[in-house]
């Protein structure tokens, strides 16, 4: 790669991460590579990249740090932008993480999994008055500066357990394992099923987002996206809970690489799973002879059951479940909003916790809800 191409790539990377408001996340990621005093003065991604360049950690002859950074942040859509400048740019999913310690990788996983309400609770434990962190990255960055988050995480994890934050604890305790630690294998894109140019893909994305906004259920979309919180680094419960537009929620799929111009099956599957076949018209406006009869390869049996649960839950039962689980609901609460809250609390996890939840429903004679969680509907057959 020549120097000009390298500078263009740096510019694309900086613009992308700036547009996605990722500077503090990148400061957390590169905290082991740049001196604290210098890092604190950086206000733009391009300056951060230049700091790495000045230390010979990133250059036209060695992009390994960039490959690892994209993999750990999970912003795989950035690859397509870079490939427009340099076609030899590899699929970073297949590259081992070698430039970041296990501790740093765990902190990245922690930041992506902890939700904003949990950030507030951690803030209240460690700060008086509270700092009111705007997100998990600001919290991690500050707590590292205070030496509360450090290489030996034992004490911090104990405090998270006392706060009853199981997902945060799991993110820090679960070992990092090999090349697939940052991205699960099933995030790797499937064999291309269609081929759209950039303009057609953008039109398709806008049409589907607008349709879902006008006719769909944004809380149902949130529950759908929760499927990918353990498989795609850019999709976190924190983001799902905070984002308030269908365009930006579906944008999480695009940023993760799960939805792209060569594979739109995830949109079709979501449509079929939620019974929103009106989206087919939006897809058909752009895609020639689209295939709407696809198997479920992106959504697990567990996720399909949760969607069925939301579709079957009536108002009285929703109120009862909310009271039993300490979640404030009313007659206007959406069942899928309640399901998302139950997921955040770990009540709807697969396995023993789900079995206990089903037993609770059985004891309350919620037969329709029990059937939704026990019986899985077949693969779609859509005309």
234's CB contacts (< 8 A; 6+ apart) are 73, 74, 75, 76, 112, 252, 255, 256
Do 332 and 365 belong to one domain? yes
User: Does the residue 289 lie in any domain?
Assistant: no
User: Does the residue 220 lie in any domain?
Assistant: yes
How many domains are there within the chain? 4
Do 115 and 140 belong to one domain? yes
Under the phi-then-psi rule, with left for phi > 0, alpha for psi from -120 to 50, and beta for the rest, what region is 375?
beta
The answer, yes or no, to whether residue 131 has pLDDT greater than 70, is yes
Helix axes 166-173, 102-113, angle to 10 degrees: 160
Do 15 and 87 belong to one domain? yes
pLDDT recorded at residue 211: 87
Q: Give pLDDT tens digits for 345-367.
A: 889 988 888 999 999 999 999 99
User: Does the residue 192 lie in any domain?
Assistant: no
The answer, yes or no, to whether residue 158 has pLDDT greater than 70, is yes
Query: What CATH number has the domain bearing residue 54?
Result: 1.10.533
User: Does the residue 185 lie in any domain?
Assistant: no
The answer, yes or no, to whether residue 189 has pLDDT greater than 50, is no
- Mean pLDDT, residues 186-205: 64
The answer, yes or no, to whether residue 337 has pLDDT greater than 80, is yes
Give the CA distances from residue 38 to residues 27, 55, 374, in Å, rounded to whole numbers and listed in that order. 11, 12, 55
pLDDT band at 285 (very low <50, low <70, confident <90, very high): confident
pLDDT band at 112 (very low <50, low <70, confident <90, very high): confident
The answer, yes or no, to whether residue 219 has pLDDT greater than 80, is yes
CB 277 within 8 A of CB 380: no
Query: Residue 231 sits in which domain range?
Result: 198-284
* Cα 280 from Cα 268, distance rounded (Å): 8
Do 90 and 53 belong to one domain? yes
User: Does the residue 186 lie in any domain?
Assistant: no
User: Does the residue 379 lie in any domain?
Assistant: no
SS3 312: helix
* Cα 84 from Cα 71, distance rounded (Å): 19
Percentage helix, strand, coil for the chain under 3-state DSSP, each rounded to 5: 60, 0, 40
User: Does the residue 291 lie in any domain?
Assistant: no
């Amino acid at each position: 790669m020549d120097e000009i191409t390298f500078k263009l790539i740096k510019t694309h990377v900086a613009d992308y991460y700036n547009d996605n408001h990722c500077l503090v996340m990148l400061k957390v990621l590169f905290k082991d590579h740049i001196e604290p005093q210098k890092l604190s003065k950086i206000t733009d991604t391009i300056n951060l990249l230049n700091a790495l360049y000045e230390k010979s950690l990133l250059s036209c002859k060695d992009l390994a740090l960039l490959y690892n950074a994209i993999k750990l942040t999970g912003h795989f859509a950035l690859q397509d932008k870079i490939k427009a400048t340099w076609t030899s740019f590899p699929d970073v999913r297949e590259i081992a993480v070698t430039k970041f310690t296990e501790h740093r990788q765990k902190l990245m996983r922690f930041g992506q999994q902890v939700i904003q309400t949990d950030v507030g609770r951690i803030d209240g434990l460690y700060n008086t008055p509270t700092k009111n962190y705007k997100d998990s990255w600001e919290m991690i960055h500050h707590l590292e500066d205070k030496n509360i988050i450090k290489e030996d995480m034992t004490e911090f994890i104990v405090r998270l357990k006392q706060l009853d934050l199981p997902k945060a604890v799991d993110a820090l305790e679960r070992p990092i394992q090999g090349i697939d630690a940052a991205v699960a294998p099933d995030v790797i894109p499937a064999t291309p099923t269609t081929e759209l140019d950039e303009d057609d893909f953008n039109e398709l994305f806008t049409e589907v987002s607008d349709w879902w906004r006008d006719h769909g259920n944004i809380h149902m979309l949130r529950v759908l996206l929760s499927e990918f919180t353990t498989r795609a680094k850019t999709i976190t419960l924190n983001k799902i809970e905070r984002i308030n537009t269908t365009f930006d929620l579906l944008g999480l799929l695009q940023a993760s690489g799960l939805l792209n111009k060569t594979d739109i099956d995830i949109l079709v599957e979501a449509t079929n799973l939620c019974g929103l076949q009106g989206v087919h018209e939006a897809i058909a406006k752009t895609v020639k002879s689209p295939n709407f009869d696809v198997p479920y390869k992106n959504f697990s049996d567990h996720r399909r059951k949760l969607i069925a649960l939301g579709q079957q839950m009536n108002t009285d039962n929703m109120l009862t479940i909310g009271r039993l689980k300490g979640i404030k609901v009313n007659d206007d609460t959406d069942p899928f909003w309640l399901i998302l809250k139950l997921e955040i609390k770990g009540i709807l996890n697969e396995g023993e916790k789900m079995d206990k939840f089903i037993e609770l429903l059985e004891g309350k004679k919620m037969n329709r809800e029990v059937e939704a969680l026990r019986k899985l509907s077949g693969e779609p057959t859509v005309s």
